[in-house]
Structure 1
Amino acid sequence: MKQKLLSGLVMALFAAAPAFAFEPFKVKDIRVEGLQRTEAGTVFNYLPIRVGETFTETQAADAIRGLFATGFFKDVRIEVENDVLVVIVDERPAIAQIDFVGVKEFDKDALKKGLKEVGLAESRIFDRALLDRAEQELKRQYLSRGKYAAVIETTVTPLERNRVGINFKVDEGEVAKIRQISIVGNKTFKEKELLDLFQLTTPGWLTWYTKNDQYSRQKLSADLENLRSYYLNRGYLDFNIDSTQVSITPDKKDIYITLSITEGERYTVSAVRFAGDLVLPEEEYRKLVTIRPGEIFSRERLTETTKAVADRLGNEGYAFANVNASPEVDKDKREVAFTIFVDPGRRVYVRRINVGGNTKTRDEVVRREMRQMEGAWYDAEQINRSRTRIDRLGYFEEVNVETPAVPGTTDQVDVNFNVKERATGTLSVGAGFSSSEKIVLSASVSQQNLFGTGNSLTLGLNTSKSSRTYALSFTNPYYTIDGVSLGWDLYHRTYDPSTSLSVGRYKTVSTGAGLRFGFPIGEDDSINFGLAADRTVITTFTDSPQQYLNFCDPAKDDFNCDNVTSLVASAGWSRDKRDSVIYPRSGSYQKVHAEVAVPPGAVQYGKISYQHQQWFPIGRDYALMLNADVGWAKGYGDKVLPFYKNFYAGGIGSVRGFEQSSIGPKDSVTHDALGGNRRILGNAEFYFPLPGSGTDRSFRLSAFVDAGTVWGETEKLKFSDLRYSTGLAFSWGSPIGPLKFSLGIPLKKEEGDKLQKFQFQLGSVF
């Protein structure tokens, strides 16, 4: 006799129903029917009963729930036949294929990978709920790209062998653009001035790249905060954004944003007081105050003050200090007084410093950059300095610091540095182009973190129209525990400047090797020393300048241009306080480099140069750069300065608007530039963002004034010889390399100067 006990479909509607009650019985056997792909063992694992045991109503309900929870079955029934338990299942279909039609905005393989992560993939069990979630997520992705008119139709097609095919048909439509941003309620500042603070904008000539004409809730939130900060930093303490309205046209192509604001009154600061447990003398805090009584209120400067106080306490070991400013507003006088409450908390020291995430880089490579010591008082400045030094190594994508309290203590913390390693080995092949060097090809194999030791090894090839270089370099930044670096270089270089530059004709082939040592003398200062041996073969031609021919005069018994050997000792000092190496806005950079060719080399000369660069931030997006570069060189003993060691000026990197290396003394016959033994360069450059680029720092426009020249050894140094130029420059850190353009107009030139108003460079030229 066959009796139906429970149906899965009924169980889905009724958790428990007395109508399906049955008398418990002893199971003689268990049989599973309806399986096509699923193993019978999978079903048995979810059954709470075994042969020989008594089967109850509760176990039946548990079996139904367990089998449904697997997601493998559309329906589950349990029947009994002569005390044999029969489990009848109806399997869900498997996904045979997933197709996308009309998708252009996203990569189809990437979409399939994303669907797989949520459980929707070929060969997996089909689940309608997962399909609905995937469809909604795809719609959300199109909305995030500004395609509000996108229509997605999902079709599920049954196939043989209980399979289905899923097809996403997408009509992407056009990207909705911001047509207008309006601000209502502004009286003090013009609407255009306020909209310049926004990253979101209406379509412009560069928005195809920045996408800032496409609505984004995150970008709008950031813009609103910029607007709020703008008012609060100018004294408008009661400023408020009353409403934000974002509307889209019925055809879903145009977006309009309207902001309603209340500016309020402008407040001045009447007093700044300190209260609480000050720990340090009040004068120490007064030195940190950047907002003064009588000045216009600025939230930015108030925040700077409270942060400076907290950092100062952190430097004394108070890791968990609370510093809060409480305002006292006098609306009648339009004044605000601030009481800064200081709660230093308990002074703590560092129990242990932990390093995590460095699967390849050795612990010692990270720990030797630490400035905070274990067992010492907590020092926020030293911890931040440690993080900065670790980040500067270039081995990690991220460097995060946490300072959790030690459980069970009130005066101890651990400092955890968590890093995320990046690939430091590179195999690169590149090409560039410049107005002076023409085609520039380069290839290199390098490992900046060799075997996780922090050492670097580079094998490079660089070739352009005028030069070809093969080089092998190795550097150990911690040859000693004190941070003394050791490096060596091997190179073979061919240089023929006359092929691309306005320089007298000659050719050199140099082979050499050098040894370098570097010594840190401060957090931002270092000195270096080097010694290199060089063998150069100099070739002159019948049309070479007479100065070059005289240098290689075969009548000189003690000199042979086919084998010019030199032993060069070098020394240098540098100080780098810039806020960024790639896109600086503030700080300074100084460098001194000197080299001396000493006996027993065939040439004997001295050469020294000094560079000082200063950056001044102006507002939020602007910066002024001033640069000075001077150099001097001279032969000594009875030797003259080799002409190929001369200084040159002109072109990108010195005085724009003049041909590369063309400024200075010239040959009386060929009129080619000879270079000189003294050089002065000066640059003033005002940087500002490219209109329409928003906060993208890879685009930079600048207006510049350049000055400079070189003097020959017999010429008198006269500042009236300086050449001047002015113009505009554009730089872009493009994906294929740095790109630089300049349009320079000479302000002062001399007869015979070679001009080149438009100059450009793509890629790095070594």
Structure 2
Amino acid sequence: MHTDDRLNLQISSLVARIRPLFPWSALLWCLFFPLRLLSAAPTTIVAIEVEGNQRVERDAILSRITTRPGDEFSAATLDADLKAIYALGYFKDIRIDVAPTPKGLIVVFHVTEKPSIGKITIEGNEAIETKKIQEEGLTVKENAILDIARVVESVQKIEQLYTDEGYFIAEVSYDIEPLDENQVHLRFRIEENEKVFVREVVILGNEHFSDDELKRYMETREGNPLSWMSEAGKYKAEAFEMDMRRIEFFYYEHGFINCKVEEPVVTLSSDKRSIVVRFRVDEGKQYRVGELDITGDLIFDKAELMKHLVLRKGDVFVRSKFQRDNDFIAGKYQNKGFAFANVNLKTKVHPEDLTIDLTYEIQKGHLVYIEEITIVGNYKTHDRIIRRELAIREGEVLSGPAIALSRRRLMRLGFFSNVTFKQNRGSAKNKMRIVIEVEETVTGNLLVGAGFSSVDRFVAQAQISQRNFLGRGYQYQLDAQLGQQRKDFSIAFANPRVFDSRWSFSGSVTNTERQFPDFLRKDRGFSTGIGYRIGEFWSLSGGYNLSNTFLTNFTSETFRDFLFNQEGETLI
């Protein structure tokens, strides 16, 4: 390399390293080396290189700079590029070298990457599961670039998680252990310490109701000597918000329509082991019901509807009673097929006499018909077994009571653990599609047992039963019991809906043998029956039973005694 070239290289490197003093260095250059400035050294950048990157792609780095091959050398532009690369957050050191060549300048960015997180562990946590800390407390992830700011943020989030759970003196720290290949092991250490307990619950501003009356509806409880056996005294931050709503609801249920409860104030004791929770209540005034009216699309007699309302004029206004009356009116219309009937409550508050006028305005909408009934979830049970129990049919007016009855019938079958009726809009405004979602349950049983008795010695028994045989609603049961002195066999079958009608059929066969000391008794029988269902809970049934008993293997003495004992008449 020529002397001039080496000198230009040194000068260029010097410019890159003393960027903050660049104007002064340029001035000194002009004063002491004017001849060099007059030389024909190139100032055009012909190439840009990146060295030292391992995980971060070269293109990702170059995409952040504005300097491009063909640009004239600019120290200010390179300074901005350096800051832009630093802003990526992936590097702990960046150095720029500028090398002159006969064709122009080559700019080289030398980068030193921050280590990546090869492993994250959490130690010392018992009150909060590791998974919850990972999901809600950590802002750092494995294989990501180590960012101390994010590590500190994670520490703060974990501490907040513990604070929310009542561990106000929990301590969280971290340490970083170097690993191979520029990776680190990030370890969070947790000292949970003791959880605070609620020493006292204070309610302020309550004039009409005592503290004890309000506390009965609250989840937050004061600690006591027996708290270890219950939830009393346990700190639950989420319970405070719910207790605010509970207190307000309690007042609403007693006519205080403007009641407000402020955010609770939590005071931590000096030793950070207990807290005092203070709720402040603004009760407002108690209101009563003024005038009542029902307007809108009336298809029922207004007086008849008014007769069934729970809220009456002069009563304390209770929100839940109003909702009950609202649901009652809407239900009456929906049961008549007006599935989209809506009841709007209009209120007029009279602060001067503390009353509220209530007007129920009815919008009945259109009569709605069932366009289609679809059944899903019945992998075993046939559709027709379900449909025959329905009190609704396609093409009929949609009825709320009929849907409720249909659900009760299906649940009574014992085939399903849950039945849900979903209503979806049909092809027109007055049509509804019904989707019946069923969750099938186990309908069969297999019981096998063995025992020992002084009579039969070893006894074995088995039973197989099925309430929904072949998915057709058939029922059967097989029983067997074997012992040294006894043998019992039986089989029973029933069809509760013969040809999907209200008629039922049942039948059974039994065979029993029992060895007595002096003879053997054999019983064989057959029974059958039919029934007819009347309404929802009644049925008529009749049956026929035939049995035959054989006594054999008598000794002569036993036979004589047996005949003597049978002398006379027996009516069965």
Q: Cα–Cα, structure 1 residues 235 and 111, in superposed 2: closer, same or farther, change >3 Å?
A: closer
Partner of 2:121: 99
Partner of 1:486: 474
Matches within 5 A, 1:2-401: 33-37=51-55, 43-44=58-59, 89-108=111-130, 110=131, 114=135, 120-121=141-142, 123-128=143-148, 130-203=150-223, 208=228, 211-241=231-261, 244-263=264-283, 265-278=285-298, 281-283=301-303, 285-286=305-306, 288-316=308-336, 318-331=338-351, 333-345=353-365
Note the alpha carbon deviations across 1:275-315, whole angstroms, 9 max, x for none. 23446553564355221224333221111111222333444
Note the alpha carbon deviations across 1:96-131, whole angstroms, 9 max, x for none. 3323332222344x357647997623x554444654
**Contact 2:477-2:492 at 8 Å conserved across structures:** yes
> Alpha-carbon deviation of 1:162?
0.9
Amino acid at match of 2:491: A
Amino acid at match of 1:600: S
**Contact 2:421-2:434 at 8 Å conserved across structures:** no
Give the alignment's TM-score, normalised by structure 1.
0.50
SS of corresponding position for 1:234: coil
Amino acid at match of 1:489: Q
Q: Cα–Cα, structure 1 residues 124 and 570, in superposed 2: closer, same or farther, change >3 Å?
A: farther
SS of corresponding position for 2:547: coil
Once the two structures are overlaid, the 10-residue window that deviates more, 237-246 or 153-162, is 237-246
Q: Cα–Cα, structure 1 residues 212 and 390, in superposed 2: closer, same or farther, change >3 Å?
A: farther
**Contact 2:338-2:368 at 8 Å conserved across structures:** yes
**Contact 2:381-2:468 at 8 Å conserved across structures:** no
> Alpha-carbon deviation of 1:25?
7.2
Partner of 1:474: 466
Match for 2:545 among 582, 598, 611? 598
Q: Distance in 2 between matches of 1:70 and 1:596?
A: 88
Amino acid at match of 1:230: F
Matches within 5 A, 1:423-434: none
Note the alpha carbon deviations across 1:574-612, whole angstroms, 9 max, x for none. 99x9xxxxxxxxxxxx89999989323659xxxxxxxxx
Amino acid at match of 1:488: Y
Note the alpha carbon deviations across 1:601-655, whole angstroms, 9 max, x for none. 659xxxxxxxxxxxxxxxxxxxxxxxxxxxxxxxxx9698xxxxxxxxxxxxxxx
SS of corresponding position for 1:174: coil
**Contact 2:140-2:154 at 8 Å conserved across structures:** no
Q: Distance in 1 between matches of 2:89 and 2:548?
A: 83
Note the alpha carbon deviations across 1:17-64, whole angstroms, 9 max, x for none. xxxxx999787xx865324356xxx55588669xxx97889xx99999
Partner of 2:22: none
Q: Cα–Cα, structure 1 residues 361 and 511, in superposed 2: closer, same or farther, change >3 Å?
A: closer
**Contact 1:120-1:131 at 8 Å conserved across structures:** no
Matches within 5 A, 1:502-541: 510-519=488-497, 530-535=506-511
Note the alpha carbon deviations across 1:532-589, whole angstroms, 9 max, x for none. 44455668xxxxxxxxxxxx6846x7x34xxx555566899999x9xxxxxxxxxxxx
Q: Cα–Cα, structure 1 residues 172 and 274, in superposed 2: closer, same or farther, change >3 Å?
A: same
**Contact 2:224-2:232 at 8 Å conserved across structures:** no
Q: Cα–Cα, structure 1 residues 101 and 307, in superposed 2: closer, same or farther, change >3 Å?
A: same
**Contact 1:572-1:591 at 8 Å conserved across structures:** no
Note the alpha carbon deviations across 1:127-174, whole angstroms, 9 max, x for none. 446544543443343234322221111223333421111111111121
Q: Distance in 2 between matches of 1:209 and 1:309?
A: 46
**Contact 1:390-1:399 at 8 Å conserved across structures:** no
Q: Distance in 1 between matches of 2:352 and 2:278?
A: 32
**Contact 2:292-2:312 at 8 Å conserved across structures:** yes
Q: Distance in 1 between matches of 2:271 and 2:342?
A: 53
Q: Distance in 2 between matches of 1:398 and 1:166?
A: 51
Q: Cα–Cα, structure 1 residues 161 and 459, in superposed 2: closer, same or farther, change >3 Å?
A: same
Q: Cα–Cα, structure 1 residues 137 and 413, in superposed 2: closer, same or farther, change >3 Å?
A: farther
Q: Distance in 2 between matches of 1:217 and 1:238?
A: 25
**Contact 1:240-1:263 at 8 Å conserved across structures:** yes
Q: Distance in 2 between matches of 1:64 and 1:572?
A: 93
SS of corresponding position for 1:599: strand
Q: Distance in 1 between matches of 2:221 and 2:154?
A: 31
SS of corresponding position for 1:203: coil
SS of corresponding position for 2:214: helix
Q: Cα–Cα, structure 1 residues 458 and 237, in superposed 2: closer, same or farther, change >3 Å?
A: same
Amino acid at match of 1:147: Y
Q: Cα–Cα, structure 1 residues 595 and 246, in superposed 2: closer, same or farther, change >3 Å?
A: farther
Amino acid at match of 2:128: F
Which is strand-richer, 1 or 2? Answer: 1
Q: Distance in 1 between matches of 2:410 and 2:446?
A: 25
**Contact 1:351-1:414 at 8 Å conserved across structures:** yes
Q: Cα–Cα, structure 1 residues 486 and 331, in superposed 2: closer, same or farther, change >3 Å?
A: same
Q: Distance in 1 between matches of 2:241 and 2:164?
A: 15
Percent of pairs identical after alignment?
A: 20
Note the alpha carbon deviations across 1:703-761, whole angstroms, 9 max, x for none. xxxxxxxxxxxxxxxxxxxxxxxxxxxxxxxxxxxxxxxxxxxxxxxxxxxxxxxxxxx
Q: Distance in 2 between matches of 1:154 and 1:222?
A: 35
Q: Distance in 1 between matches of 2:524 and 2:268?
A: 75
Note the alpha carbon deviations across 1:231-285, whole angstroms, 9 max, x for none. 3333444544366333222323212222333545544434321123446553564
Note the alpha carbon deviations across 1:484-538, whole angstroms, 9 max, x for none. x12333344689xxxxxxxxxx997755433343459x9xxx9976544445566
Task: Compare CA radii of gyration and give the structure with the larger one.
Answer: 2
